[in-house]
Structures are given as structure tokens and as C-alpha cells.
Structure 1
């Protein structure tokens, strides 16, 4: 979820070094980023302030100095003010040069303050310290080299030092604020990247859930196909009615498996679209599952104390359905001809318990291929739902599966 429109709209407000770091500044000459609108406004303001201070100093020089000295001050002051436009490229060299020049030309005082501001904004504290000290020393020496008859020398020197300190502190404050903006922008970018990562992880987990759902659904359908096909293979002399019924179950199971597969593929192709029209199984459809298994030729005893299946949360009911579906499928595969018992107990606040038991097979068991991952998937499904699942051989030689799931009050 990248956002590029906002930085592009605000790039004209950012300083050139921030706009360049953000990747929004148009490419200019190598090593020389183009000024933004904000940079032009700041540079123009500093130029005008330096010119204003220079004009005040030039007026004083013309009043109390000779014509030649006043003309020299005006020329030097004009050049110093124009040099303010170079403060972004050579801030240290410009500040040092103007500090020295200001000792002999008071008209360069405004340009000195502008260059000190640039140094305080762009350079480390060590350079700021010695350049500021040089500027303060130059302002003190200038009082004695070019004294102003209208002001006291000590007051004039103190005013010069105060202005240098004030401009330097202002520049350092701006520098700290820019660093804070950069840190906040980096933090926002990291937060956005982490949000994208979390979204990708959530999408991956959703796809894994879909894959587990596909295993549970298709395993049940395909197992029915395999069992009935094996029954037809072992009983070619079965009555026509049984053969027709087995063929009907095979046909229906194949159709259901195809529908389930189409639904899952549709979700994978378009995760943002609405789900298929077929409702997800819940506890209310557990009777339908039992009836379907009985129609397939398996004896199932369904014992439940849950009188209102609709009151069970949909996610819990779906988990119970999948556990019962897989357990009954395994009982039909590994203990054909036996009677399985499906027991459902529970009430709000105590949880929901589902148990499937089957006795040992009484005869030979047809070899039905399987992945052996069904019980692992059920255990994971129960754990993700906040419950637990246990399975293993029963004392009578059969097999028992028992799961407990939370049912909030």
C-alpha cells in the first residue's frame, strides 16, 4: 500500500535536501539539487533582510565616513548581499569570508548573519562553534576598526555578539526540527512497510486456511469415491440395486468434490469478491452429514444433547462438522461394516465435546490410499479454535477420537 501522491503534492513545501531524500525532487544537475518553492521563499527573505541591514549600515557609513570609504562600503555590501544566494553551496567558506570582510565593511553584517544561519542549519556543532566564535570576534573587532559615533562601543559589541548567538541558536533549532521531521518520516515509512508485511502475512494465513479447508472437503468426497469404487471392485456380483446406489453415491460425491474445488479456486483467484452461494457447514447441518454417510452404506449412531444447534457459534459449529466428517470418513475407510457412534455433548459456558468411536473391523479391510495427514489437520484445526483433540486406539481394539471446543456463555 504505497502512497506516492501525497509526497508529490507536498514536495514544493519541503527543503531541497528533504525533498531529494524523499525522492520527490526533480532531477537536476548532478550533485546540485534544484531549489523548491520553499527554498526560493527562504532565500529571497534572507536576501532582503541582508540588504535591509546593509542599507542601514551604508547610511551610517555615508554619514560619518569619507565619500571614498562610503562608496567602498556600498560596493562591498552589495557583493556580500548577492553572495547570500551561494549560502547553500558553500556555507562554511561563505561564512568565514564574510566574517573577515565585515571587520572592515559594516554593510556585510546582514550577509554574515544569513551565512551563519545556513551554517547552523547544515553543519555539525563543531563547525558551528568555531565559525560562530569567529563571527563574534569579528563583530567585536569591527566596533573598534569602524566605530559608530552614535552608539557606545561596549553596547555595540554586545549587540553584535547577541545577534550572532541568536541567529546561530535559531539555525540550530531549525536543524533539530528538520531532523525530527526526517525521523518521523522514516518511522512512518517503516510503519507502512510493517503494515504491508502484516497484510501479506494475513493473506498467506488465509490461503493456508483455504488449503486446509480444501484438504478436509476433498478428502471426504474423494474417500467416498474410493470406498465405493473399491466396493464395486470387490463385489462385482452385488445386486443391481446396490450397484446403482453405489454408482449414484460416486456420481454425487464427484459432483460435490468438483463444486468444492471450483469454490476454492474461485476464492484463490479473487479473494476480494463475495464467496460462493453455497453456505458453509455448521452444527445445524451435522444431521445432513450423518444422513449422507448412512446413505453411503455406513451404520452411524448419532447421540446429541445439543437441542439448539443454531445457538452454537458458526466457527465452532463448522469445526465440529469438519471433525465429525473426517472421523466418520476414517471409520469407513479403516473399519468398514462396523457401526460408528457420533456423540455430541455440551452447553454454553462449558464447551462442546464431540466424540467418534468405532469397533475393530470384523473382516478384511480393503487397501484405501490416504495421505495420513487428516488427524494432524484436525488437531491443528481444534487448536486454532481454542480447543484440543485426542485420538488413539480404544480398549476394545477399535478407534476413538475426542475433541473439546470452547462454547462461550
Structure 2
């Protein structure tokens, strides 16, 4: 065992000592001891704790891999995430006003993917253990919305039906007003008997919908999600913001960023998280690479009342970004790309005079890269709103406003 001083936290939430050496569940300023294995400290003991160290609120924290930062105070985590965004921008030579962070409350996650496996006598479901394939049962999880915890028993029941003891199911459970929307992957191949058994399980378990490897097995009730004035039925397993609280904060930021724009392009639009609320006051063109998501968006818009026109376009914006002549007809652009960011699309945007851009990001590093391109082309980064809807994790999201004089 050797002693080490933790200097800072890495982007994955591990403490970093000289070396570098990585030590899970440690904080800057702490003196720790442990056994060095390659670049990792194991069997870590805290010799001198940080004054920001707190008792983890969840009894599963030490074994479960769902959270990384429950041992740190809320103020520390908020400041660390703000600094992560600030330093990412600074590395690209960009400065910005960072508004106070918006953090979703505990037990507000409306979507989770559980691992489920058969055992000798029954089945179990939970999250994978820290750096492990072992499944940890989490009956007292402090992340999940109380109505979502019922998905654990459902996942275990589906493991009895649809997997062997050698494999684990991935069971994505999403809250909807109609009940739980369950999408399963990594299970047995579908055949006639399995379809019949799963359909019976959908009824017996009271599920709104059950899907297996992307195919809907049964739908008792429509598990719609509300986006603005529209009710949208997402395709099985479709992306959804992790909490209603976080989605509302991002949506408010996007609306502020686009301002009074009358014509908006929503790029990487998904099922309409931003498109449909924006259509309350503006014409919106939604572009997304997954046609099924756009079909859900379009149907939701058609069934809603009082919305401005919404058009859709299925397009892979990584391979075929929208060009300046296509973008020039819009007053504002919304960007909400995956973690890789929107490098090629931003390269086309800077060749336009579109005056306002709302950029939503789940990766401060790629956001900072794209922000530097926009700023270098004459845009001003007016403000950044950091949103923490993945509480107690290193995951950081944000919304930002860019503007350019017309």
C-alpha cells in the first residue's frame, strides 16, 4: 500500500493522483492509500478526507456502477460540472457566460436500461456493478422515479421468459402516462411460441407496450410522450431526455436562444423534443436520420391543435449536412447532435447569415470544438446553460445561445 494525494477529478469522475493514477470514489485534496495496478489504485482507503466528502445517500453506491459521485457534496458536483464546461471552452480559446447550473432532483429519472439474468431458482435485475459484468440489484435506487422501479421486477420476469442463464437481457424501461414502455434487446430470437408468451406477459404485467429487438410484440395502451401541445408515440427504444425536469430546462433555453424567429431548422430533431414546442409560435423544419422518429413526430404534430406548420426530412447530417443555400431561408437553427457533435454541419452553418443558433450538447468537449468554429466565423456565444439531469454522474449537458448581427 502506498500513499497518494488526489489532485483533480477526471472526466469520468475518478480522482487522479500523480502518475497519473486513477482512484474511484476519491476527491481532490484527499490523501489516500492503495495498491498500484498499472495506472489504477485499488483497495483505496481515505486517510485525509475532503471537506466536500459526504455520506452517499444510496446504500447501493459502493457496489453499483450507476452513480460515480454520490460521495461528493451537491455543491462540489455542480461546481465541477460548470468548470468542466468552462475549461473545455477555454481549451478552444472561447469564453462565455455560464449561467447557474440546473440540476434534476433525486428520483426523477424516467428512463433506465436494466440488466436482467436468470439465476438457479429465479431471476434478477439491476445495474452492472462498478467496472464489472456482475448485476447488482437496486431496490432502493435514489436515481429512479418511484414509478420506474417497478421495471426491475418486470425485467426479471422477462429474463425468465426470454434468455438463458449464460446471457443477460438489456431491458429499457420508460415512463409514460399510459404506463411502462418496455424495450428488450439481447434476448432469444423471436419465434411463434416466444411471441405468444411475451404477448401474454404484456397483459399480465400491465405494460403499455412491449418491444423485442425493435419489434413491437403488443401494445395495450399508447405510451405517448408530451412535447409541447403534441402527444408523440416514439418508436421502441427511441431517445428521450432522462428527466422531465431536464427536458423542460433545455426546452426553455432553446426557446430563449431562438428568440422571435419565425422559421426554424431543427437539426438532429429526434421525435420532436424541441420541434413541437417551437411550433407553438414558429414554422419548423425537422431533420433527423432515423425515419421512424420523424414519422412519430409528424403524426404527433398532425393530431395536435394550434401548431404552426412542421415539415420533416429524413437525412444523415453526418454524411450529408444541410448546405448554405438550404439553411439561408431560416431565421434560427437548433442543433442537438449526439456526443460526436456537429462538426461537418457547423462548417456549413458558418457559411450562412442565419442570425441565431441554439446548440444543445451532451458532450462539452465536442461542443467547445464546434463553438470555436462558430465564434471564429463571427458568431457571439451569448450564454451557456449547464443542465445536470444525470445526477451523481460525470455526464454533463448544456444548451447555448449563439448570435450574429444581421
Query: For this structure pair, what is the TM-score category when the shorter chain's length is used for normalisation?
Result: under 0.3
TM-score of the aligned structures, taking structure 2 as reference length: 0.20
Kindly indicate which of the two structures has a greater share of residues assigned to helix. 1
Kindly indicate which of the two structures has a greater share of residues assigned to strand. 2
Q: Which structure exhibits the higher relative contact order, with contacts defined as CA atoms closer than 8 Å and separated by 6 or more residues? A: 2
Indicate the structure (1 or 2) with the bigger Cα radius of gyration.
Answer: 1
